[in-house]
Amino acid sequence: MYLDHAASTPMRPEAIAAMLPYLADHPGNPSGAHGASRATKTALEEAREAVAAVCGCHPHEVVFTGGGSEGDNLAIKGAAWAARAADPALAGVVTSGIEHKAVLGACERLEREGFRVARVRATGNGVVDLDALAGALHDRTAVVSVMLVNNETGVRQPVDEIARVVREHAPRAVLHTDAVQAPQWLDLSTAAIDAALVAISGHKFGGPKGVGALIVRDGTALVPLVEGGGHERGLRAGTQNVAGIVAFATALRITHERRPEETARIAAWREGLEHGLAAQVPGFTVNGADATRVAGILHCTFDDVEAETLLVALDQQGIMAASGSACSSGAVDPSHVLLAMGMPRDRALSSVRFSLGYATTQADVDAALTIVPEVVAKLRAA
Amino acid sequence: MARVMVMMSGGVDSSVAAALLRDQGHDVTGVTLKLWGGESDSGCCSVADVEDARRVAAQLGLPHYVFNFSDAFEADVVDPYVDAYAAGETPNPCVECNRSMKFGRVLERARQLDYDFIATGHHARVIETDEGPALARAVDLAKDQSYVLYMLGSEELARTLFPVGELTKADVRERARALGLRTAEKRESMDVCFITRGGREAFLGARIPRRAGTIIDDQGAVLGAHDGIDAFTIGQRRGLGVAVGERRYVTDIAAGTGTVMVGTRDALLQESLRLRDVRGSRTPPRPMLVQFRAHGTPVAATLDGDDVVFASPQPRVSPGQVVAFYDGDVCCGGGIVAE
């Protein structure tokens, strides 16, 4: 029972099928001038058009990347460096405390380079505090980065309102949104329309790992992280991962087509899981309950149960879930997201994320509804 | 067949321990403890060591988990270690880690998760006696680690396996090679795992104000000065920075004034010493053997309340150090040298 789709999803069969010819049959470098290259160049540009259609942007605004972390880094560092080059006074970066480590890491790097970074808190419901955000903005702010959907709680962030606040208080700032968790649940052509930079990653919606895209809207100046042969409009040098990009675009297109049906189905299961656990398990709290959450994520706290122990016990019963963000060693750290929401450390260490995806079945949810209450009761009695 | 949770540090001993348990037919799960924050380069908790443990578990076909006890490790092992040095003691953090982490929190978690036993790669043995399970020295006496496990009581011992305690270190490496384990030739970690670059003095210097003071002899004459008492331990001969005719040893450390006293070897001798936190699995015999270094030679003594009375005078032992009690090869228990 795989309930960790927010970490990674199984690939959609259509995406696998779409990429295979570009592994097996088409060797051409898309930058070349002969027939083999024309085949891969065509595939690459058709993929770009497909991504643009889903995201509501021009194809030339799509920059293929090596995934979400790279997109976030290119957006934040690239925009900050470009702003500083244009005007050294533009040295402010504003983000939130609930961002993915890729965003926080990029901001820390900029801080070491002399940028002034403000990290805005979130409310107890997991929504970035807009008043605090407004207070952190000023006319020297170069970059603002707030995610569209939080990867731990599933709480949707009001990027449209944030864009309005940014326009008002930091008119020169570029707004980036880490939308990595969004494509399965939200229509990016509307939900992310107010951000100049939008990062997504293939493996969160049935595409391959290690492929992503950064939407760079016209008029947004970026300094590249990787320089070289001018690929991706000079923003990301290196021969493109054609097979991966084709699979990425296919997965995104199918996700977009099936989103209404998949979202409705998964939302009903998530509700069932949430209410079923609430009914059976005492000391059970849903995090972000009063906020707008995407359909697939149930983030919850089990009083007096260590998440690390619970995850082992669940894994041994065949249920694969997660506790927020795992560090590189695989250990469970107290989630910085929950701490930024003001949750006490001990409660953060008792919190678990179940995340559903397109591949989830009724049987998975039924099994979780049987096993989770048993395991929690047993651990509490032990 | 039993359910066994084996702690895999990423070293050769625990790798082989896991393999032996699997080959004995047990239902084995590997766990690696993340005990110390950052990505330290040495010791038991670096990312590379976790990866070695994970890979060995995968090769052996065992499930593997990482337990993050870094908060508890800091509070229960590192902070007391620093405090002890600040008080002029010479603590043994490995003993405290064994007590509070491996045979404390991990054992408790294993119990919650329905494991029958925990296991480690320590060179020691658990033997059955009429009085219940007993901690015994390893077959390879040169590698014996029973000293740092002295605190285990009957309850812990009844739920603990030390699979490599029956093997020599050479046998362990041979088994690892035969199994093709990536850790077969890995070097042993010798130092305190959470102290990496810069060494102990730099680690402590960043955490406690160094207290400079004087070095005096047993007549009170000032022989020199020093930068901080944490550089000294009782019985120390080298690095005193004082030039006198005959060999001098540190005989006392006064944390309050920062004064280090040195004297001749005779001045270091004592008839008895007082312990605190005396623990173990059984009452030691009279007389017993006591050992006060990890690989020290045992000497005869009797336990009188919390006092260890030596059969013949012994050099003083620094407060904070461990004295383990032995009945032949059986470790009965021990305590920590009190001030």
Residue B100 lies in a domain: yes
The Cα diameter of chain B in Å comes to 67
Hey, are the CB atoms on B113 and A313 less than 8 Å from each other?
Answer: yes
Q: Using CB atoms, which residue from A330, A332, A334 is nearest to B50?
A: A330
Say whether B193 is catalytic.
Answer: yes
3 state DSSP class of A288: coil
Task: List chain A residues with CB under 8 Å of B116.
Answer: none
* B44, B45, B193, B332: the active-site residue: B193
CB atoms within 10 A of CB B132: 13
Q: What's the token pair of residue B236?
A: 């120390």
Q: Where are the alpha helices (DSSP H) in A170-200?
A: 188-191
Q: What is the mean pLDDT of chain B?
A: 90
Q: What is the mean pLDDT of residues B1-12?
A: 95
Hey, are the CB atoms on B113 and A333 less than 8 Å from each other?
Answer: no
B41–chain A Cβ distance below 8 A for any pair: no
* B45, B94, B97, B331: the active-site residue: B97
Q: Are residues B174 and B224 in the same domain?
A: no
Residue A106 lies in a domain: yes
Handedness of CA A311, A317, A318, A319 (dihedral sign): negative
| DSSP annotation string for B154-208 | HHHHTTEE-GGGGS-HHHHHHHHHHTT-TTTTPPPP-S-TT--TTHHHHHHHTTS
Q: List the single range of A26-30, B213-217, B219-223, B237-241 with lowest mean pLDDT.
A: B237-241
Q: What is the mean pLDDT of residues B137-150?
A: 95
d(CA B264, CA B215): 14
The parent domain of residue B108 ranges over 3-122+162-178
- For B36: left if phi > 0, alpha if psi spans -120 to 50, otherwise beta; the answer is beta
Say whether B97 is catalytic.
Answer: yes
Q: Are residues A285 and A139 in the same domain?
A: no
- Is this structure's pTM higher than 0.95? no
d(CA A221, CA A143): 11
Residue B338 lies in a domain: no
Number of domains chain A is built from: 2
Q: Are residues B102 and B46 in the same domain?
A: yes
Residue A227 lies in a domain: yes
Residue B67: CATH number of its domain: 3.40.50.620
- Please name every residue paired with A332 in a beta bridge, in sequence order, or none if there are none: A326
Q: Are residues A194 and A320 in the same domain?
A: no
* A55, A57, A107, A327: the active-site residue: A327
Number of domains chain B is built from: 2
Q: Are residues A295 and A308 in the same domain?
A: yes
Boundary of a domain, candidates B263, B287, B306:
B263
Rounded to an integer, what is the distance from CA A310 to the centroid of its chain?
25
d(CA A94, CA A137): 7
Q: Are residues B226 and B88 in the same domain?
A: no
Residue A59: enclosing H or E segment and its boundaries? none
Q: Are residues B172 and B232 in the same domain?
A: no
How much of chain B exceeds pLDDT 90, in percent? Answer: 63
Question: Measuring CA to CA, how many Å separate A327 from each of A107, A255, A324, B39?
Answer: 18, 29, 10, 11
Give the residue from A302, A305, A306, A312 with the most B CB atoms within 10 Å of its CB, the best one to mutate: A312
Boundary of a domain, candidates B222, B237, B263:
B263
Hey, are the CB atoms on A382 and B66 less than 8 Å from each other?
Answer: no
Residue B223 has a pLDDT of: 86
Task: List chain A residues with CB under 8 Å of B73.
Answer: none
Which residue, among A351, A287, A356, has the nearest Cα to A325 in the 3D structure? A351
* Model pLDDT for residues B62-91, shown as the tens digit of each residue: 999 999 998 899 999 999 999 998 888 889
Hey, are the CB atoms on A331 and B109 less than 8 Å from each other?
Answer: no
Contact A176, A72 (CB under 8 A): yes
Boundary of a domain, candidates A254, A273, A304:
A254
Residue B254: CATH number of its domain: 2.30.30.280
Q: Using CB atoms, which residue from A327, A329, A382 is nearest to B112?
A: A382
Q: Are residues A41 and A74 in the same domain?
A: yes
Boundary of a domain, candidates A231, A254, A277:
A254
Residue A154: CATH number of its domain: 3.40.640.10
Residue A241 lies in a domain: yes
* Angle made by CA atoms A271, A275, A276, in degrees to the nearest 5: 110
ipTM score of the complex?
0.86
Q: Are residues A338 and A250 in the same domain?
A: no
3 state DSSP class of A13: helix
Boundary of a domain, candidates A228, A254, A280:
A254
> Which residues from A are below 8 Å from B when comparing CB atoms?
306, 308-309, 312-313, 315-316, 327-334, 345, 379, 382
The parent domain of residue A122 ranges over 13-254
* Model pLDDT for residues A85-129, shown as the tens digit of each residue: 999 999 999 999 999 999 999 999 999 999 999 999 999 999 999
User: Does residue A22 surpass a pLDDT of 60?
Assistant: yes
